[in-house]
Amino acid sequence: MRVPRFLQPVFEVRGMARWLLLSGLAVVVFFVVLAIFAPLIAPYGFDQVSADGVRFPKQASPSGEHLLGTTVQSTDVLSRVIWGSRTAIEVVVLAVVFSLAIGVPLGLISGYVGGRVDRALVLVMDALFAFPYLLLAIVIAFLLSSSVGQGVFTAAVAITVVYIPQYFRVVRNHVISVREEPYVEAARALGAPRRTVIRRYVFHNVIQSVPAIATLNAADAILTLAALGFLGYGIQPTEAAEWGYDLQRAIDDAGAGIWWTGLFPGLAIVLLVTGFTLVGEGINDVLNPLIRQRAVEPPVIPAQPDSELPPPGAEPPPRGATEARATEVHRE
Amino acid sequence: MSEPGGSPPSEPGEPVTSGPGEPAEGGPGEPLLAVRGLRVWYGTGGDPVRAVDGVSFEIGAGETVGLVGESGCGKSTLGRGVLGLLPDNATAAGEVRYRGRDLVGLSRRELRDLRGPEIGLIFQEPMTRLDPLHTIADHFRETLRIHEPELGDEETRKRSLETLARMGIPPTRFRQYPHEFSGGMRQRIMIALALVLRPSLLIADEPTTALDVIVEAQILQILADLRENFDTGLLLITHNLGIVAEACDRVAVMYAGQIVEEGEARRVFSEPAHPYTRALLRSTISLRTTGLHYIAGAPPNLIDPPPACRFHPRCPDAMAVCRERDPIEVSLAADQRVSCWLHGPEDEIPPQGAEPLERTEIAIAEEA
Amino acid sequence: MVADPTTDPLLAVRDLRTHYSVRGSFIDRLRGREAGAVAAVDGVSFDLRRGEVLGVVGESGSGKTTLGRTLLGLVPATGGSVHLRGREITGLPERELRPLRRRLQIVFQDPHASLNPAMTIGAAIADPLRFHGIAADAGDRKRRVAAALERVGLAPASQFADKYPTDLSGGQKQRAVLARAIVLGPEVLVADEPVSMLDMSVRAKILELMIALKEELDLTYLYITHDLATAKFFCDRIAIMYLGRIVEIGPASQIYDDPKHPYTASLLRAIPEPDPTRSVPRDLPRGEVPDAVSPPLGCRFHPRCPRAFEVCGWESRDLRTLLETRWTRMAEEEYERERELVGELDSLDEPAVEASLPAGPGHTDEEALGVLEAMRAEAPDDPFWKGVAELQPDGSGARVRFHEPLVPRDLEVDGARVECHLHDPEALAAARAAAASDGPAVVAEPT
């Protein structure tokens, strides 16, 4: 399988960026595994309050029976955390896919076509962007709740609307600079239809900025989802387990010394957000050429007692042409 | 060329070693700038790029030296190396003596103090070096304030206007902004900004490449007047041999990080000794050119340059020895040095060393 | 009308004009004002005959690049016509223009920037085949790409097709760009400075390749360049452009051996020769190409022309330039003294054949006039003074009236076409009449 060219540096990365990327990826992969195999991993269902006809105790502290204890509604905390990761990953994936699917094409069109279309779109997006994001998400969730219900889909759409302007802006601004590149004009001169120019010549060169934003937005989306749930505008407790909702229910417990109902969902949020952020920062370091170049150390020039001696380091096998050229670029 | 074999007489005035911080005038025979065995390597993460690899040359006061070669041969790196203006991943070694003081190993601060009042710089893109938000007058005031703070306002203005006038910029335009000037005017302003500090050495890296022919010729005129009026030494880095011929006293030809031939411009142009110089001259297209010529192949990758003579894979006159032993610098008659086995020394060439080298066909695929 | 390929030109350009509107400063835009229009191409006519190489030579700002882009329909023409084999192609919508692109191709100056960095060389060359539905299938496309690569010397093709632009050297990239242009089998190739970004040692190789391609593929070239030296090798005919107009066009040999326009002559003189016995030419045109937003009156080259005379278009702005040049040469105190005698020069910026040089505050009109007279006394041979019809004080300053400017006509001289009054008997006669009317004493007495 061929790795897209712009992602290749990700596999060649060394040093700090590699560490960020790998540790972030480990955390994210852990939660994704939890999410996918939730039915197998979680001891109980997300709203299960009894097993074999025996009701679970209320607010039981962590024990062999319930590893992370139970809640005020008698649900198992561990199970809720695991099912909650499924909800979080579902919503984040949907939200990122939706906002990419809408924000990126709109940015492409706005930037490439320009003129009135551009002005109109920029106005709408700026208005969305200027709106307090949580309030916006709440409004959307509220509007959709009557028609679609308060499930994963609604939450994802509410979050999508918040993030579309970000993709739009980044992509549009990048398109505007790429549009002026001679290779885009060359494509026109070769007779490329406008759609092809955008798809094959513009899109490929602006897409590089998207992965970093997408992962960073994913981190942000987890928080937004939790905030919605916490405020009661998120996913209905009957639909799925959700960390924000759990936190909200745990507020009263905290005063009574019942720490497990709040700690574990909270910890899950922090971990997953950190994981996504680390991946995003790692990708950013890798794909941003300015940061990449800085890392190279100056060489040590050995003393040269006699010019007749073969210069030190003459032995190693020739390097690939690619590498040599890459270094020549910033030299001349 | 790391050995300054046949260099002009610098021996009597043995280089004065001076501690950093106290600029010392060189002895009577000391040239303005003497570079000996300079090497500048870049780190790549793997093996280093040897952009400048053992270069020696001199510039006298008021002398214009042209530095020519294809791109990728280390010309710009050499220019920057002399000034210590190198990126973080570069290392310089060797000797750069300016008025007897070694610049290699000076701290960034000491180098910064030298740049401007002692050694001036002119770049290819004048617009990127001028601040669009400040007038030309501001630029001059700022430059003089940093380097000659004792100068009063009136004196500053006078010096600036005087220098600008010499560059053909009318005094009426002193308070205008960079964007109000044409490309050629901006380059004149840049030159004036360098000259207002009265440096004794100027390094110009492709100063006319971005300009049109007529404006280029105008700038060359200014540079030619420079040596007469200001007694400024000039290192002119260019890929255009026509410019060297018109503006330079001496010329150094650079190939793959080394100077392969150096000498008086007239002499080098009329009797080029190195096959690379000959090839460069032949490939220059001018009005008098009657046929198209080019140099086969491309300058080598400087991470792993060819052994012995670096030009041998592209050289039409290559001999067996060229692949085996580093060329030795030879002084030819008049002021001309060359590093090429064609010019000997004969007794260093091993038996059968003069046999022509079986040349592997250079594919277009390998070309520049 | 059916075009006859043997006699009709492949490309007939008539009075082509391309104007851009320029944005003014931020404040201007806030007020909703446009700063004006640049006539980048301003009435250009020529024929491109089948199989020939026509060089379009000019400095930056001459409009040569805009001309190339207008011919390709990459920028809309403001006026005039371009006929490709008898068919009008200006003003065609992109949809109708697209099929024509097969026949009319362009190569840009910067080979690196004109290749999509995210696309392999092979894909870049295959793409135009796909746009025009030329290849029958993927296999055919691959064969055609390989053939194009090998034709431009990137052989074996398999070694280059999968490389990205960053993996190639400048010369190789320009070869790839040429391969992409010829894969469509065009008739006309517009080459916009194809070698100027390349090293001297590579230029000859690319030029040689272009000559070979022309022979093999029966191409016709429009070679746009600032470099008369490479054009000399390459072109059958040369058109010299200056500020949006062709000032001279003719057979290459004639342009080089016997340039008719003073501008052509100075361009030729300015080319550096790799010959140290020749020194820098001293008699170059002064200044640089002026702003195309408001070009000089009359002949656009007159302010820089060493041979300009009475009717070439002398005007207020030339007076300002002359004054400033004079002050540039003066010593500081001398300049300060003279600067006080005259007022602000901004009134001279509006192009006019009658200008008034205001006297400085506290100084009389006679003093302002004195400055001009001192100028004339110092350099009476400056062509500027031929253009001055009358010089007199007008109460507030020195009034300068210039001779009525004539716009140069398109003249046929020895098989070349040139726009220069030096070759126009009528303009010369008008100049003689103008000079006579001045009389020997140009300074009119105040009445």
Residues 256-275 of C with CB under 8 A from B: 256, 266-275
Terminal CA-to-CA distance of chain B, rounded, Å? 25
DSSP state of C347: G
The amino acid at residue B41 is W
Domain for residue C59, yes or no? yes
Residue C96 token pair: 């109708």
Among residues B304, B310, B308, B337, the alpha carbon closest in space to that of B321 is found at B308
pLDDT of residue B293 exceeding 90, the answer is: no
Q: For position C171, what pLDDT does the model report?
A: 87
Q: For position A114, what pLDDT does the model report?
A: 85
pLDDT in tens, A237-255: 888 888 988 888 888 888 8
Residues 67-96 of B with CB under 8 A from C: 70-71
What's the rounded mean pLDDT across residues B285-300? Answer: 83
CB proximity A183 to C under 8 Å: yes
Preceding amide of B117 cis, omega within 30:
no
CB–CB contact A316 B77 (8 Å): no
What is the number of structural domains in chain C? Answer: 2
Whole-number Å distance between alpha carbons of A138 and A244: 14
| Residues of A whose CB is below 8 A from B88 | 294, 298
Q: Is the dihedral of CA A53, A57, A63, A69 positive or negative?
A: positive
CA distances from B151 to A61, B145, B146, B160 (A): 81, 7, 10, 12
pLDDT of residue B15 exceeding 50, the answer is: no
Q: Is the dihedral of CA A222, A228, A232, A233 positive or negative?
A: negative
Whole-number Å distance between alpha carbons of C384 and A70: 99
Give how far B32 is from chain A: nearest CA, Å.
25
Burial (CB count <10 Å: 0-12, 13-18, 19+), residue B122: buried
CB proximity C109 to B under 8 Å: no
The residue ranking higher by pLDDT, A291 or C371, is C371
pLDDT in tens, B294-340: 888 888 888 888 888 899 888 888 888 888 888 888 888 768 899 99
| Residues of A whose CB is below 8 A from C164 | 5
| Torsion angles phi and psi, residue C21, rounded to 5 | -90, 140
**Best-predicted range by mean pLDDT among A15-29, A95-109, B148-162, B291-305?**
A95-109
pLDDT-derived band at B239 (thresholds 50, 70, 90) equals confident
What's the rounded mean pLDDT across residues A50-72? Answer: 84
B72, B301 contact by CB (below 8 A): no
CB proximity A6 to C under 8 Å: yes
| Torsion angles phi and psi, residue B274, rounded to 5 | -90, 140
CATH code of the domain in which C230 resides: 3.40.50.300
User: Nearest Cβ partner of C172 from B280, B289, B367?
Assistant: B367
C148, C179 contact by CB (below 8 A): yes
Which of these three, C243, C263, C295, is where a domain ends? C295
Helix (H) or strand (E) holding A9: helix A8-12
The residue ranking higher by pLDDT, C394 or B260, is B260
CA distances from C416 to C7, C255, C258, C413 (A): 19, 8, 10, 5
- For chain A, the chains sharing at least 3 beta-carbon pairs closer than 8 angstroms are B, C
Residues 184-223 of C with CB under 8 A from B: 198-205, 207-208
Domain for residue C197, yes or no? no
CB–CB contact C205 B281 (8 Å): no
| Residues of C whose CB is below 8 A from B126 | none
- Nearest Cα residue in chain C from B287: C229
Which of these three, C295, C327, C347, is where a domain ends? C295
The amino acid at residue C96 is E
- Nearest Cα residue in chain A from C182: A190
C348 shares a domain with C416: yes
**C165: helix, coil or strand?**
helix
What's the rounded mean pLDDT across residues A133-156? Answer: 86
Interface test with A, best of B3, B95, B304, B323 (most A CBs within 10 A): B304
pLDDT of residue B180 exceeding 90, the answer is: no
B165, C329 contact by CB (below 8 A): yes
User: Nearest Cβ partner of A298 from B39, B90, B326?
Assistant: B90
**Token pair 């005063």 in the structure block, residue:** A255
pLDDT of residue A331 exceeding 60, the answer is: no
pLDDT in tens, B143-162: 899 888 888 888 899 889 98
Give how far B352 is from chain A: nearest CA, Å.
20
Q: For position C239, what pLDDT does the model report?
A: 95
C357 shares a domain with C264: no
C329 shares a domain with C232: no
C434 shares a domain with C310: yes
Question: Lowest-pLDDT range, A285-299, C240-254, C326-340?
Answer: A285-299
Give how far C55 is from chain A: nearest CA, Å.
20
With a CB cutoff of 8 Å and minimum separation 6, the contacts of C379 are: none
pLDDT of residue A290 exceeding 80, the answer is: no
Q: For position B89, what pLDDT does the model report?
A: 84
C243 shares a domain with C313: no
CB–CB contact C128 A204 (8 Å): no
Domain for residue C151, yes or no? no
- Nearest Cα residue in chain B from C280: B246
Helix (H) or strand (E) holding C329: helix C316-329
Under 8 Å CB pairs connecting chains B and C tally to: 176
With a CB cutoff of 8 Å and minimum separation 6, the contacts of B277 are: B253, B260, B261, B268
CB proximity C346 to B under 8 Å: no
Among residues B118, B135, B128, B123, the alpha carbon closest in space to that of B33 is found at B118
| Residues of C whose CB is below 8 A from A192 | 127-128, 131
The strand pairing partners of B263, in sequence order, are B251, B336
Q: For position C28, what pLDDT does the model report?
A: 56
Helix (H) or strand (E) holding B111: helix B108-114
Measured at the CA of C299, the angle between CA C295 and CA C303, to 5 degrees, comes to 70
C268 shares a domain with C402: no
What predicted TM-score, i.e. pTM, was given to this entire model? 0.82
Q: For position A316, what pLDDT does the model report?
A: 37
CB–CB contact A301 B41 (8 Å): yes
Q: For position B9, what pLDDT does the model report?
A: 39
CB atoms within 10 A of CB C118: 22
- For chain B, the chains sharing at least 3 beta-carbon pairs closer than 8 angstroms are A, C
pLDDT of residue B73 exceeding 70, the answer is: yes
CB proximity C153 to B under 8 Å: yes
A229, A249 contact by CB (below 8 A): no
pLDDT of residue A122 exceeding 90, the answer is: yes
The amino acid at residue C407 is V
Interface test with A, best of B1, B49, B339 (most A CBs within 10 A): B49
Residue C8 token pair: 């009709």
What's the rounded mean pLDDT across residues B28-39? Answer: 84
Whole-number Å distance between alpha carbons of A278 and A25: 8
Domain for residue C444, yes or no? yes
User: Nearest Cβ partner of C106 from A189, A193, A196?
Assistant: A189
Q: For position A7, what pLDDT does the model report?
A: 62
pLDDT of residue B72 exceeding 90, the answer is: no
**Token pair 């214009």 in the structure block, residue:** B64
C316 shares a domain with C436: yes
Mean residue pLDDT across chain C = 86
CB proximity A325 to C under 8 Å: yes
CB proximity B17 to A under 8 Å: no
pLDDT of residue B16 exceeding 80, the answer is: no
- Nearest Cα residue in chain C from A194: C94
What's the rounded mean pLDDT across residues C198-226? Answer: 90
CB proximity B350 to A under 8 Å: no
The strand pairing partners of C250, in sequence order, are C238
**Token pair 């494509």 in the structure block, residue:** A187
A165: left (phi over 0), alpha (psi -120 to 50) or beta: alpha
User: Nearest Cβ partner of A307 from B3, B71, B307?
Assistant: B3
C330 shares a domain with C357: yes
B262, B57 contact by CB (below 8 A): yes
Interface test with B, best of C199, C282, C337 (most B CBs within 10 A): C199
**B117: helix, coil or strand?**
coil
- Range of C376's domain? 303-447
User: Nearest Cβ partner of C74 from A189, A192, A326?
Assistant: A189
Interface test with A, best of C114, C184, C222 (most A CBs within 10 A): C114
Whole-number Å distance between alpha carbons of A42 and A61: 18
Domain for residue C167, yes or no? no
Burial (CB count <10 Å: 0-12, 13-18, 19+), residue B141: middle
CB proximity B2 to C under 8 Å: no
pLDDT-derived band at A332 (thresholds 50, 70, 90) equals very low
User: Nearest Cβ partner of C288 from B158, B169, B182?
Assistant: B182
pLDDT of residue B237 exceeding 90, the answer is: yes
Domain for residue C425, yes or no? yes
DSSP per-residue string spanning C236-273? SEEEEEETTEEEEEEEHHHHHHS--SHHHHHHHHHS--
CB proximity C93 to A under 8 Å: no
C330 shares a domain with C254: no
CB atoms within 10 A of CB B191: 25
CB atoms within 10 A of CB B162: 15
Give how far A113 is from chain C: nearest CA, Å.
14
Domain for residue C314, yes or no? yes
C404 shares a domain with C310: yes
A52: left (phi over 0), alpha (psi -120 to 50) or beta: left
Q: For position C380, what pLDDT does the model report?
A: 86
DSSP state of C387: H
Q: For position C49, what pLDDT does the model report?
A: 92
What's the rounded mean pLDDT across residues A130-138? Answer: 88
DSSP per-residue string spanning B334-348? TTEEEE-GGG--GGG
pLDDT-derived band at B22 (thresholds 50, 70, 90) equals very low
CB–CB contact A192 C114 (8 Å): no
- Nearest Cα residue in chain C from A202: C116
Q: For position B313, what pLDDT does the model report?
A: 86
Give how far C345 is from chain B: nearest CA, Å.
9
Give how far C198 is from chain B: nearest CA, Å.
9
The amino acid at residue B278 is R
B67, B323 contact by CB (below 8 A): no
Whole-number Å distance between alpha carbons of A73 and A238: 12
pLDDT-derived band at B31 (thresholds 50, 70, 90) equals confident
The residue ranking higher by pLDDT, C182 or A312, is C182
Measured at the CA of B35, the angle between CA B33 and CA B36, to 5 degrees, comes to 145
CB–CB contact C199 B183 (8 Å): no
B271: left (phi over 0), alpha (psi -120 to 50) or beta: beta
C366 shares a domain with C232: no
ipTM of the complex: 0.82
Whole-number Å distance between alpha carbons of A324 and C71: 40
pLDDT of residue C3 exceeding 90, the answer is: no
CB proximity C131 to B under 8 Å: no
Which of these three, C237, C264, C295, is where a domain ends? C295
- Nearest Cα residue in chain C from B164: C328
C441 shares a domain with C394: yes
A217, A55 contact by CB (below 8 A): no
Where would I find the H helices in C18-120?
26-30, 64-71, 94-100
Give how far B26 is from chain C: nearest CA, Å.
31
Share of chain A above pLDDT 90, in %: 28
CB proximity B180 to C under 8 Å: no
CB proximity C328 to B under 8 Å: yes
CA distances from B212 to B165, B218, C204, C225, C274 (A): 22, 10, 20, 11, 18
| Residues of A whose CB is below 8 A from C128 | 190-192
Domain for residue C102, yes or no? no
